[in-house]
Structure 1
Amino acid sequence: MAGSIAACLPIQLGEYLALVEWTARQVRPDKRGASTPCAPAVLRRIEPHSGRWAVRVKAIGSGYWRVVGDVEDLVERAANLGQRWLKGLGLAKALTYER
């Protein structure tokens, strides 16, 4: 990840590690110890819909490319980059309507 964790997510290192571990278990349920029903508290704070977080992570590189987030996040970042769109807008819209 380019930059610091704090610049991307306002969380502590321990929270970040718990989030990475839980996410890995969601992305690779075939791995030993993959059954972790409760999302870490930090995830509930930054993304109330834990299933949406897992979908976003799985889509990095295919559904998303440079920025992961809600439609507003992608549109704002595209404008900051001087672009009209970023890959992932369609997926972000689909996840928004899923609420």
Structure 2
Amino acid sequence: MEEGAPFLRLDVWLWHARLARSKADCGALIAAGGFRLNRQPVTKAHARLRVGDVLTFVWQGEVRVWRVLALGERRGPAEEARGLYEEIPIAE
């Protein structure tokens, strides 16, 4: 990715994507481990997330792989949040 490309903190983006109720909860999920950003383990809430990045994590007992489509400017309704990413199916 370009160094000057726009980015958003991972915890803020997860909050925009409605993964948890608060930014603090998103930060705690990241700190607990289990998140990968472009295949690299990440435990820092301030990790830089850019459009095109791939996020891998376990959610509700299932491995999820999301490609970031947009950064988002706010925590909007669920329909808006679903537009921030696309789920990449995992081959079984």
Task: Indicate whether the TM-score tops 0.5.
Answer: no
Output the TM-score relative to the length of structure 1.
0.28
> If the length of structure 2 is used for normalisation, what is the TM-score?
0.30
Q: More strand per residue: 1 or 2?
A: 2
Q: Which structure's relative contact order is higher, taking Cα pairs within 8 Å and 6+ residues apart?
A: 2
Between Structure 1 and Structure 2, the one with more helix by share is 1
